[in-house]
A and B are shown apart, each in its own frame.
Chain A
Amino acid sequence: MLDLRSLAVGYRSAGRALLSGMDVSAEPGAFICILGRNGAGKSTLMRTIAGLQPSLDGVAALGGENVASMRPGTRARRIAVVLTERQFNPGLRVEDMVALARQPFTGWEGRLGDGDRAAIAEAVAVMGIEPFARRYFSNLSDGERQRVMIARALAQTPRLMILDEITAFLDLPSRVEIMALLRSQAKAKGQVVLLSSHDLDLSLQLSDSVWLLDGAGGFSVGTPEALSQSGAVGRAFDTDAIRYSPSQGRFEIRTSESA
């Protein structure tokens, strides 16, 4: 459903692409984690696939249609995002935030129909945010805000969901819960879910497929097991201080003996 064809992403002003020649496909229901160190191009890649930033070369296509040339309204009905940008506004309540997700589906007034209300109610229930639905978004904790933003994306009923480092502000049980929840949503609705994360363990355990950015413009795609065994994970993340152990499936501190 999602096809990247020789996609190159980056900023034109930087002179060269952060990532190039990406040829990857994802089937409906795929739960995909994008892994890589800071600056490897995760956010840029996701913004490009979401149609929020022009690609340097190549195409990201959803259902055979080039995302970059979709009409903004069409794109908004098919792709939902949760970003790291944190922008807050006076007087926006949680229920308003989630309801705004339905704007691409409503008329000029933004009046909600029965289908819109059902989508909102389901997203609110799935993320468990009813208890603070009437509160101001800006008065919530980081974890609560993150749940609201994910509920907002779910309420947009997209074919493709793009979530950038959504687990950064959550404690471990919440991270597991939310990632597992997104995975089951992807399966239940046949959506493609693209999620970037620094949670290596969790991502390798839960994802169907991993897009691993090595930080030097290269990338590898595969199942978590394959990437782990091939040493690609190690190449992307090893430093002088730590190294990935494929046999144990986790990082080890390098000691003087093993180094």
Chain B
Amino acid sequence: MSMRISSRAAALIVALAGLSLLTLTCGQIALPLADTVGALTGTQSSDLARQIVLEIRLPRVAAAIIAGAALGMAGVLMQALFRNPVADAWSLGLLAGGQFGVALTVTAAAFAGPAAVAFLTVFEGPSITLAAAAGVAAAALFMLALGRRVGAITLLVIGLMLGFTSQGLTSVLLHFAARAGGRVYGGWQDASFAAVAPAALPWLLAPILIGAGVAVATAKPLSSLLLGETYARSLGVKVTSLRHAVLAATVLLVAPVVAFCGPVSFVGLIAPHFARALAGTARILPLLPLAALGGALLALAGDAIVHAPWEQHFLHLNAILAIVGAPVVILILVFSPAVRQWR
């Protein structure tokens, strides 16, 4: 890895560590920094501080970092696969597809009876991750088939519409699931990192680590695909199997995020642009760590703002991400040379 990439990654890691510490310290109950560090290291600290830091704030911070990193890497993969600067798991409707998959599973269990609901509750982690993965994969396959027929902007609009449709269907389904007595994931239709229980963290992390591994393995041929399909083939890339591998990596990265944190918007769309600007290249391999760190930083910053000590709890994660993210997307649409090709 070049000096430029390493030094930028190191700077991002320092920023991420600083922001994590800040998020662990601040909140409705402000803790002295010494108590926070004490709770983290297991040395002298009050029981209250230990409980707040380790049981409430740390899982939230960890979820934000893991989910943000996953969305950032998935954004890099999708923007390369679709050759579309505004592609990501949220904008192309993959997250909403995953939500729909989970809602369908929960509803089916609710109607199947108490035994099914009990099963779903016991195996909550794997079962909702699998349900989300099926939904994400279905949405991704649909968009990929469509992506060969329509331009970048049309695809974005269709992706957003697909997202609205899935979310509408999800809310209808969950309504019936509630009436039938099934478990409804409370508040889950809004994105949040606060609902991830410490026990769920391994289920969030494991598929994402595998997905990151697949992403790194496909990075080189995916860079060739930036030249277009025919040039990629002329460089020895087996395009069809590459597509499948990238799709698998995307599903592994994105499905656990939907399952545990909901539809986190804009992070995956912006992080790759941030990474490209830092890296000074569009080659995939150096972008992956930078987009992961940038995505983690953005997600954690959004979470920090949501959980800052406001008078009352009034902010939603996606509201913050939209206020920051939507103007960035508008700038990309107006100024990106790649988008200009399609106008």
On A, residues with C-beta under 8 Å from B are 50, 52, 71-77, 79-81, 83, 85, 87-93, 96-97, 99-101, 103-104, 106, 108-110, 136, 138-139, 156
Contact = CB atoms under 8 A, between A and B. Distances in A.
Contacts, number: 99
A100 B223 contact: yes
Contact of A83 (B231, B276, B340, B341): B231
Given A88-B341, A90-B338, A52 B228 contact: no
A31 to B, nearest CB: 20
24 contacts: A52-B233, A74-B236, A76-B236, A83-B231, A87-B227, A87-B228, A87-B231, A89-B226, A90-B83, A90-B338, A91-B85, A93-B281, A100-B226, A100-B227, A103-B220, A103-B224, A104-B235, A108-B217, A109-B219, A109-B220, A109-B285, A110-B223, A110-B283, A138-B340
Contacts of B283: 96, 99, 110
B224 A73 contact: no
A73 B236 CA distance: 5
B1 to A, nearest CB: 9
Given A87-B227, A87-B228, A100 B338 contact: no
A76 B336 contact: no
Nearest to B337: A138
A138 B220 CA distance: 21
B191 to A, nearest CB: 26
Interface in B80-99: 83-85
B227, B234, B237, B339: which has the most chain A beta carbons within 10 Å? B234
A96 B227 CA distance: 10
B235 A90 contact: no
In the A-B complex, list the 6 residue pairs whose CB atoms are closest, starting with the nearest.
Answer: A76-B236, A87-B228, A90-B338, A91-B282, A138-B337, A90-B85
B337 A79 contact: no
B282 A92 contact: yes
Contacts of B282: 89-93, 96
Nearest to A77: B236
A78 to B, nearest CB: 10
Contacts of A50: 234
B238 interface: yes
A136 B85 CA distance: 14
A73, A81, A89, A136: which has the most chain B beta carbons within 10 Å? A89
